[in-house]
């Protein structure tokens, strides 16, 4: 799916460099968040002795209880995927 955004401004300064810089900054923030979230996922994987993919499968079929750590782990995994999608969307953007 392709999306298009049009930005207009009455300002006399060129917008394209400002928007490019803002997108780069946001991509850096997303990368930092991705690394931090991966650290949290690795913590849970080590603590419970299973990879996140196995945890997710077992949690979704009800094989694991609703322990607060499991709820947090599932949330971190969901957040990780959202961050990846946002980063990929930014990195795939083309400013004309």
Per-residue pLDDT at 3: 87
Structure-model confidence comparison of residues 31 and 92, the more confident one? 31
Predicted confidence (pLDDT) per residue in 27-72, tens digit: 999 999 999 999 999 999 999 999 999 999 999 999 999 999 999 9
Work out the average pLDDT over 76-80.
Answer: 98
Quote the percentage of the chain above a pLDDT of 70.
100
Confidence of residue 1 (pLDDT cuts 50, 70, 90): confident
Concatenate the DSSP letters of all residues of 17-72 into one string: HHHHHHHHHHHHHHHHHHHHHHHHHHHHHHHHTS-HHHHHHHHHTT-S---HHHHH
């Amino acid at each position: 799916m392709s999306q298009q955004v049009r930005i207009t401004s009455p300002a006399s300064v060129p917008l394209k460099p400002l928007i490019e810089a803002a997108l780069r900054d946001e991509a850096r923030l997303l990368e930092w968040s991705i690394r931090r979230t991966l650290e949290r996922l690795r913590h849970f994987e080590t603590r419970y002795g299973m990879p996140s993919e196995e945890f997710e499968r077992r949690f979704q079929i009800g094989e694991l209880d609703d322990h607060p750590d499991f709820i947090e782990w599932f949330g971190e995994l969901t957040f990780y995927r959202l961050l990846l999608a946002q980063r990929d969307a930014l990195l795939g953007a083309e400013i004309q």
